[in-house]
Structure 1
């Protein structure tokens, strides 16, 4: 029986641990918090998982909240016009909703990670509550066949060298601010189905609104992504949750009044329902070397951390976990050496590279042909639907998004 240590109990670490456990591996999972501490703590993220990522959870039979979480059937895009001003006459120059081929869902990671940790322990897994340092891993690497590092923050990440060729940014490209709320009104357009809303405010940032399942039931996430130094970059140092929400709503009223109209009666889901911060999107080399010479393999956002502007974090973590799990299972009893680690990452990168390319493109002001595409989707439902489904499979953007010629040919094919 092969012994594997997974460090970090997020989407990827838990998914791999549960998957290996179901195949009879001896798995130890290290988490710096207990399930109860996770559940009663602060929100950790925004997350909207699309069909492919959700299917990986179904395949492992750990999709425990599927019947409770809102089924997100659409993805809408609005672009604020230049008339947005203090007088609240904000208008949208673009506004449409694309339909998803398979529904998406968002489950607050406090709910999911706590539940998965308890499941792992109930099924006989060894759950160690301990914040791991490099020195700990140095010791453990001698007693395990493989050590996977899926803790995306802190000291452990520094073991993985930044891949400069794949990381165009060295500073954060957005200031992030999240609030989980109850009491959001329905969307005036297509209220009959749930959709994620992506509101683009040129030169200022983006507002995402997504239905979710949290510790207290159905809720919505209000998520601002502000250009650093701009009018949305005002959450640093705001510690009080109610002040955070008031600021969130003030910005909604000013920059996205059509969303503010739905949000006049909202309240925070709980005292832990806010989050703010920023980080530089970074791709890292996948193999970390310990002081004693042992090797560890980085997982998910330890090695590929994208800005959340394209909503890919949890999706990428799920896809990385599924890919790594397959690579481990198909390797049999051969050693998990550096060559295997690199090959395993390279296989995941075939998927992840499309996410990184698309996300980095969305962080820049859109070129004219992309504006034309987003505008045309308002009149051409197939274009809206295809753009929405790109969130599930970002590799499709290669076919119609990046190059003006391909975009033009695609739109001409729809209108011809």
Structure 2
């Protein structure tokens, strides 16, 4: 039986561990926190997973919360005009529903399931020296936790990393009491609100430790008015700041947020990071090699909501590559090949995300505006969150955008 160590207990690490476990592999997961510590801690993300990523969970039979989480049927885009009205406002329909499950719920539950099924769970904050020791005792070591010392093992890939500094200041609040959008009161949807030159707000339904909730997620241009959460430690002050910004910049969202309250004391998060692609193989002092997983090696800004989706797709890709390898060694050539299979998908996410971080060119403004009148445009943009490779066909180049608009409006 092949022995595999996975360092990190997030979406990719645990999904991969549970998948390998179901195929009879001897899997060890190393986490720096227990399941109870995760469940009772601070929120970790703004995950909204679309059809393909959700299907990977179904394939592994770990979609434990699918019947409880809100079924997100649409994705809306609103663009604020200078007078605080909406220059653009539409709702695209998803071909397959999306869902968001608070990672405190999901990761704690998956960790407990992994242990119950006989997996070895080690609660220990791993260092490079630990991996140097373990690499000689496992057939394969995968690193799915990239903060601090472990992340330094993976060299930045400058050709694929155009940004050296954070492009957005991030702030999250999980709330109860958010009202529906009056124009679509029965439709669960992610709402993307763009304030040109200032930043973005995303509102999404989720399932958290206390049931159904909504996430308020600000992406502020650094140094701008939405970059207002640095140094805010008190959760209630965080929420008050968020509501003040809503009232100022997005009155249509503020109107349904006047009765909100935080889901719990751990329901806020703020921070920033530079989007970075890293080379997939980490070098150990003793000469061994480890393979980076998901956002350890491809960390995009969350403006396109792809973090947990990419993690799920990476886990599924690596699972297939490991199963196909059989008894052959997991050498560096194999590691490079496994990552190349993942990059075939991830490259489209990186390209689209970096495009959305930049001021939109004229043809993109025309596409977004066309969604007001052409449902096909709204629907195609919404479904691009599930399959970002589709944007290659109509979104990036003015000529392709014009040809597409001509076809759908004809």
TM band (smaller chain): over 0.9
The residue number in structure 1 matching 2:129 is: 135
Post-superposition Cα deviations, 1:258-309, rounded to whole Å, max 9, x if no partner, equal: 0000000000000000000000000000000100001000000000000000
- 1:218-275 per-position Cα deviation (integer Å, ceiling 9, x unaligned): 0000000000000000101100000000000000000001000000000000000000
Cα distance in 1, alignment partners of residues 409 and 389 from structure 2: 24
Alignment partners' CA distance in 2, 1:361 and 1:220: 27
| TM superposition shift of 1:312 | 0.1
TM score, norm. by length of structure 1: 0.98
Moved over 6 A (4+): none
Determine whether 1:342 maps to 2:347. no
CA distance, structure 2, for counterparts of residue 152 and residue 380 of structure 1: 42
2:115 corresponds to which residue?
A: 121
Q: C-alpha displacement at 1:193, in angstroms?
A: 1.5
- Structure 2 matches for 1:309-324, cutoff 5 A? 309-324=303-318
In 2, the alpha carbon distance for the partners of 1:274 and 1:152 equals 22
Residue among 254, 258, 281 paired with 1:260: 254
Query: Which residue number corresponds to residue 329 of structure 1?
Result: 323
**Distance across 2 between alignment mates of 1:382 and 1:190:** 18
Q: Distance in 1 between matches of 2:372 and 2:146?
A: 38
Distance, in Å, in 1 between the alignment partners of 2:197 and 2:340 is 35
Counterpart CA distance in 1 for 2:202 and 2:216 is: 6
Q: Give the secondary-structure state (helix, strand or coil) at the position aligned to 1:155.
A: coil
Once the two structures are superposed, the pairs formed by residues 133-282 of structure 1 within 5 Å of their partners are 133-282=127-276
1:37 aligns to 2:24 (yes or no)? no
Deviation at 1:152, TM superposition (A): 2.8
SS at match of 1:335: coil
Q: Secondary structure at the match of 2:218?
A: strand
In the other structure, the counterpart of 1:59 is: 59
SS at match of 1:242: helix
1:344 and 1:61 map into 2 onto residues whose CA distance is: 23
Determine the C-alpha separation between the residues in 2 that align with 1:302 and 1:287: 11
Residue 150 of structure 2 aligns to a residue whose secondary structure is: helix
Q: 1:324-382 CA distances to partner (integer Å, 9 max, x unpaired)?
A: 00000000000000000000000100000000000000000000000000000110000
1:154 shift after superposition: 1.8
Match of 1:404 in 2: 398
The number of residues matched between the two structures is 410
The answer for the alignment partner of 1:87 in structure 2 is none
Q: Deviations over 1:310-335 (max 9, x none)?
A: 00000000000000000000000000
Q: How far apart are the structure 2 equivalents of 1:220 and 1:36?
A: 23
Which residue does the alignment assign to 2:78?
78
- RMSD between superposed Cα atoms in Å: 0.4
SS of aligned partner of 2:79: strand
**Aligned to 2:28, what secondary structure does the other structure show?**
strand
Answer with 396-405 or 185-194: which moved more: 185-194
Structure 1 residues without counterparts, runs of 5 or longer: 84-89
TM-fit CA distance, 1:82:
1.0
Q: Secondary structure at the match of 2:246?
A: helix
Provide structure 2 residue ranges, at least 5 long, that are not aligned to the other structure: none
Secondary structure of the structure 2 residue equivalent to 1:353: helix
- The answer as to 2:281 corresponding to 1:287 is yes
1:387-413 superposed Cα distances (whole Å, 9 cap, x missing partner): 000000000000000000000000000
TM-score, L = length of structure 2: 1.00
* Counterpart-to-counterpart distance in 2, 1:360 and 1:396: 16
Using the alignment, how far apart are the partners of 1:330 and 1:53 within structure 2?
Answer: 21
The CA distance in 1 between the partners of 2:124 and 2:142, in whole Å, is: 15
Q: What is the distance in 1 between the residues matched to 2:243 and 2:146?
A: 30
Aligned twin of 2:371:
377
Q: Does 1:99 find its partner at 2:93? A: yes
1: CA distance, partners of 2:212 / 2:326: 43
> Which residues in structure 2 correspond to 1:287-306 (within 5 Å)?
287-306=281-300
Q: Quote the offset at 1:201 in angstroms.
A: 0.2
